[in-house]
Amino acid sequence: MWLSEARITRRVALLGVISGLSACGFVPAFGTNGASDVLIGTVEVIVPPTIAGYRLADRVRDRLGPPDGQALYRLDVTLDIREIGTAITQEGAVTRFTLEGVAAFRLIRREDDMVLVSGETDSFTGYSTTDSTVSTENARANAEERLAGILADQIIARLQIGLA
């Protein structure tokens, strides 16, 4: 009997939270009539012609979808990724690297070239080296992919806030 009462109490609490959020005007960004509705399928992503740039663009397209026909908006992104040795042995060999990335972005309405949202995001990720060059290169590529994904997610979050 106690277990079913606990389930009912949780459901009532959840309904209360949901109704409280809707009463204050909360609308999920990716829900119906959310801030991101206007961006779904309408954004062309322009990035530097680098692997990290392509990965960032792919992540944005995964989240917002590819443009349906002529894009209404253009998202211009510049990337600056630096690699810093952060763990060095007594012999001077670097065993861990940090990738620091900065992405500057501008969302531009194509019809009049008006900048709707602009800003800059930054993050970092790291990887360790091994005795194998191939493994180290794979670890670096994986770290760069993670960094591009993080930066893309931050850009999308900033666009949602800027358009809300």
Per-residue pLDDT of 62-107, as tens digits, reads 999 998 888 999 999 999 999 999 998 899 889 999 999 999 999 9
Residues 46 and 64 in one domain: yes
Query: Would the pTM of this model clear 0.75, i.e. be above it?
Result: yes
Residues 158 and 112 in one domain: yes
Long-range contacts of residues 12-17, Cβ cutoff 8 Å, at least 24 apart = none
Residues 51 and 63 in one domain: yes
Nearest 5°: CA angle at 117, between 66 and 35?
60
Do the Cβ atoms of 103 and 122 come closer than 8 Å? Answer: yes
Residues 111 and 95 in one domain: yes
Do the Cβ atoms of 151 and 123 come closer than 8 Å? Answer: yes
Instruction: Report the pLDDT value the prediction gives residue 37, as an integer from 0 to 100.
Output: 75
Instruction: Please classify residue 117 by burial: count the beta carbons closer than 10 Å to its beta carbon, then call 0-12 exposed, 13-18 middle and 19+ buried.
Output: middle
Percent of the chain with pLDDT over 70: 78
- Cα–Cα distance for residue pair 95/109, rounded to 1 Å: 45
Residues 72 and 144 in one domain: yes
Instruction: Report the pLDDT value the prediction gives residue 124, as an integer from 0 to 100.
Output: 97
Radius of gyration of the chain (CA): 21
Residues 15 and 65 in one domain: no
Range of the domain at 44: 35-163
- Coil/strand/helix, residue 34: coil
Residue 30 has pLDDT above 60, yes or no: no
Instruction: Report the pLDDT value the prediction gives residue 36, as an integer from 0 to 100.
Output: 63
Residues 29 and 46 in one domain: no
CB atoms < 10 A from the CB of 151, how many?
25
